[in-house]
Amino acid sequence: MANDETEHGEPTRRDCVKYGGAVVGGGLLAGCSSQPGSGSTPTRTDAAGASTATETDTEPVSSEDGSYSVTMSPVGEVEFDQVPTSLLTYYPISAGTAVALGHGDSITAIGYDKELFGNTVDYYYDSLDGVAFQWEDLGRVTRSGSPGSLDRELFYELDSDVHFLDPALLRSSSFGWSQREVESIASDVGPWFGNYYSRTNGQPPEAYREQYEYYSLWEYIGNIAAVLREEERYRALKGLRDNVVDRIRADLPPESERPSLAVVAYTGGTFWPYDFTQDGYLWEHVRPFGVKNALSETAGGPGDDGSYDYEGLIEAQPDVVVRYWGTALGESFIENRSTVLNDPLAEEVPAFRNGRYHASGHGMQGPVMNLFQLEMTAKQLFPERFGEWPGFGAGESYPDIPAEEQLFDREAVADIITGDG
């Protein structure tokens, strides 16, 4: 831990929240020992030797004085004297979870371009009566003109009770913070609470690597719910999600009859692929469908950067192509879709020939995004089983779906969020 005296002159850490985790690895806030009743999530080892999380719900551990603690890798056990009332939510996963659990008014800031962030979440929230994500006036902790750089001083100005951001990510080459910088904000302002590397089960910086644990999307959401003491709302939302997944799996055709899928980003005739079959919560809106990655066995082109041109897609023959994060692009996706489908070579790609090039969502998804993105993906991949996908429309909000073709009840979701459920 950092000394109580820091360069900012704050004498002690915030009273309302504090770390109770172990101090290991030369002062790193790892605290990953899994003790019974600690609220930690146990892990298992899969056939490839990778550590993966088990499907358990996290419950906070309460004390007689009303304080409680929540344990999550890599931050360890974090103790709270009261429910945090100001939250820094860097990614849509934590921001969307806070809103879905009724704590949207507590958000102080987000991580990056606010319009893109707003488009990402508004696309879905516009479909829920009485629910809104008020992102316009939020702070932004990335420096203007330098989205890969965090404004450390702003963390002090925002004075948030908890920062839903992984300290391991801050220590990585992405941001390059020192351990002293990480610890000073944790002690002077509020603790870190995040697990970035579960997005793809990727490797964290070496100092965190040995005891880093990975979580599924809803395990991660459950940990945030434990911090906010919103376990009942969490269970209600997770119950809706489990019903959607059960319905999807019950109605899937045999694997041999499922379409092949390519998930891409697109710019100027070049397609960059995503491997949606890899581990991690980034693909939990695609994983339940068990479809083949059309690009897994086809060399890319035109260059050596892993990208594909039309010839590469012609060789791969994907049945469906979706544009990752296309739902946030608005009119620009509509324009680039027209460009893609009107290319002279498009007729030789099954997905383009049949008009099955769609805007897809974002993997850093909170509960609401996950529900809508599961339904959206179901319709894009299996319209004959789950109803036709209406398309991107005006690109401003999720399209209207007939009630009989909805995979979940919008009113039920809104009631859970607003407290009427």
Closest C-alpha among 172, 167, 222 to residue 195 = 167
- Which strand (E) or helix (H) includes residue 322? strand 320-323
Q: What is the pTM of this model?
A: 0.86
Report domain 17-230's class.
Answer: alpha beta
In CATH terms, are 17-230 and 238-418 the same topology? yes
Enumerate residues 6+ apart whose C-beta is below 8 A from 318: 260, 261, 262, 294, 295, 349, 350, 351
Domain covering 238-418: architecture = 3-Layer(aba) Sandwich (3.40)
The partner residues of 357 in beta bridges, in order of sequence, read 321
Residues 6+ apart with CB under 8 A from 361: 285, 325, 327, 369, 372, 373, 376, 377
Give the bridge partners for 18, in sequence order: 79
In angstroms, the first-to-last Cα distance of the chain is: 42
Q: How far apart are CA 147 and CA 292, in angstroms?
A: 34
CA–CA distance from 195 to each of 145, 168, 270 (Å)?
A: 26, 8, 32
Number of DSSP helices (H) and strands (E) in the chain, helices first = 14, 17
* Rounded CA separation 92/121 (Å): 7
What single letter denotes the amino acid at residue 6? Answer: T
Cβ contact 317:325 at 8 Å: no
- The pLDDT assigned to 20 comes to 36
Determine the 3-state secondary structure of 18 from DSSP. Answer: strand
- pLDDT by residue for the chain (421 residues), tens only, comes to 333 333 333 333 343 343 333 222 222 232 232 332 333 333 333 333 333 444 445 678 776 678 999 999 999 999 999 999 999 999 999 999 999 999 999 999 998 788 889 999 999 999 999 998 889 999 999 877 776 789 999 999 999 999 999 999 999 999 999 999 999 999 999 999 999 999 999 999 999 999 999 999 999 999 999 999 999 999 999 999 999 999 999 999 999 999 999 999 999 999 999 999 999 999 999 999 999 999 998 887 766 788 999 999 999 999 999 999 999 999 999 999 999 999 999 999 999 999 999 999 999 999 999 999 999 999 999 999 999 999 998 888 999 999 999 999 999 999 999 998 6
Which sequence spans correspond to the domains of the chain? 17-230, 238-418
